[in-house]
Every structure is written in structure tokens, then in C-alpha cells.
Amino acid sequence: MKITIEALPGIPEVKKDDDLVLLIVDALARCGRTSVDGDIFVIAQKIVSKAEGRQVRLATVKPSREAINIARKVDKDPHLVELILGETEEVVRQRKGALITASRLGLVHANAGVDSSNIAGRDSALLLPVDPDASAKRIRQGLEARFGVRLGVIVSDSMGRAWRNGTVGFAIGASGVETLRNLVGTPDRFGRLLKITTVGLGDGLAAAACVVMGEADEGTPVALIRGLPPMETHQTAANLQRPKDEDLFR
């Protein structure tokens, strides 16, 4: 198998209500390209959230007593902490400089995904999309209508991992992509049947794409993955989430 991954240049600064489908189509056209059957577009969460109007000015947020108390412990702006709590179902861990939460989307990561990087204005923060899987489906359907081929879309974010330093890309939304490949019952090279192996394909593709998209000032929030066969699947990024009763870290 051979795949290629390339960042799409020319995506402008995204604003509320911008049409991401049109921006991606235009970016491809400027490169003299079109899309083919099986292409997967990995789209940074930041531009999806911006287009969906998920940017909030901190000055408009009134911190609760809980937010103020937590802010003192973790050394964060209480206005930001209030936003985080609004997106949180459970505070998992907290210490100075770190607030780990289980978000309303079921994701366990820092600050419920609320972030202030790569957005205009020093007094603003960006929330995750309300429904990243629905966002991915909407973009996929729009792109498929434009190109007339079967496509996949992943909405990616970056997160840290237990036991490991550094952040990697992961899929918070997906449509038209096999996100979790179950290999239980298939033989290895020596005929032994695999008993527990499942492959987090959605996260693997998101992580690989983020290498070319970048995390700082690159300005390339969309990557194109080509070479995988078209995927007939109803899986979404939700399939990647481990149920709480199977989570040994909480």
C-alpha cells in the first residue's frame, strides 16, 4: 500500500459562516487539482469551529465561584476556566498549569479542547464544534456533490497522551472513513489468531496529516490523503472513544 499526504496551500483566514467546502474546492483549483475516489480530507478543528461561530470573547464570560476556585489551583484565567467548565462533564485531573477534563463530547483531554492559539484577538477562545461528526458529514457531502466521487473527511485536533510527551493529531469528527478497524480473529504471519487487536485508523490518519499541516503559523489547516480505497462505512470518530467503564485511567 502507498498513500500520499499533502497540505493544501491557499486556505484563507476563516471567519464565521465561511463555506469550508468552497474554500477547499478553490484551494484545489488553484493547484490545478481535482479530487478522486477515495480521497480523505483532514481538516483542522480550528477552522471548523471558526466557521461555525464557536469563538467567544472572554470579556463576555462571567466566572462562577467554581471557576474562580479552580483557576487559582491551575493558574489560569477564570474566564477561560468558566468556558472550559461549560464544555465539561467531569474534571478528571487538575494541578498548576493543567486541567484535564472529560468533555461533553466524551473526549478526555486538556481544557475540554478550549484553546486560544491561532485565533485573532488576545481576549478570545475557541470551543470545539458542537457535533464534530456532523460537521465532518456535512463537509463530506458538500465535497462529494462538487466532485461526484466518494470521499472521507476527518476533523482533527491535537492532544497529549498518558505516559508520553508531546501532542499528536487525533480525530474528533469523521465521516466516510473507517475509524476503527477490528482485526480480532484474523491470523498473524505465523497463523496465530489475533485476540484483542483493533487499529485506530482514524487517529492514525489524523496524526499523519498533522505532520504536514503543522501546529504553529504554517497556515495550512487542510490536508489531502490519497491512496486508500474508498470506504463504505457508517463509522464516525465516536467509535474511537473508550467507554468510561473500560477506562483504567479514570
CATH number at residue 184: 3.30.1330.100
99 & 194 share domain: no
88 & 109 share domain: yes
The span from the CA of 224 to the CA of 8, in Å, is: 7
Identify the domain boundary among 125, 145, 179: 125
Kindly give the parts of the chain with pLDDT less than 70. Answer: none
Beta-carbon contacts of residue 157 (< 8 Å; ≥ 6 apart): 44, 45, 109, 113, 128, 169, 170, 172
C-alpha pair distances (Å), 61 with each of 26, 65, 98, 132: 36, 13, 21, 24
- For 83-120, letters b (16+ CB in 10 Å) and e give bbbebbeebbeeeeeebbbbbebebbbbbbbbbbebbe
Residue 22 lies in a domain: yes
The span from the CA of 26 to the CA of 11, in Å, is: 8
Q: What is the count of structural domains for the chain?
A: 2
Provide the edge-to-edge strand list for the sheet that holds 98-103: 88-95, 98-103, 108-110
165 & 188 share domain: yes
Identify the domain boundary among 125, 159, 178: 125
Residue 13 lies in a domain: yes
113 & 224 share domain: no
Residue 247 lies in a domain: no
Name the residue range of residue 11's domain: 4-49+129-242
Measuring CA to CA, which residue among 28, 51, 30, 48 is closest to residue 224?
28
**pLDDT in the model for residue 161:** 84
**pLDDT in the model for residue 219:** 86
63 & 166 share domain: no
Residue 150 lies in a domain: yes
- The three-class DSSP label of residue 247 is coil
Residue 249 lies in a domain: no
Cα three-residue angle 16-17-21, rounded to 5 degrees: 120
Beta-carbon contacts of residue 106 (< 8 Å; ≥ 6 apart): 238, 241
**pLDDT in the model for residue 232:** 85
Radius of gyration over every alpha carbon of the chain, rounded to an integer in angstroms? 19
Q: Are 49 and 16 in contact (CB under 8 A)?
A: no
**pLDDT in the model for residue 157:** 96
**pLDDT in the model for residue 244:** 87
Identify the domain boundary among 105, 125, 145: 125
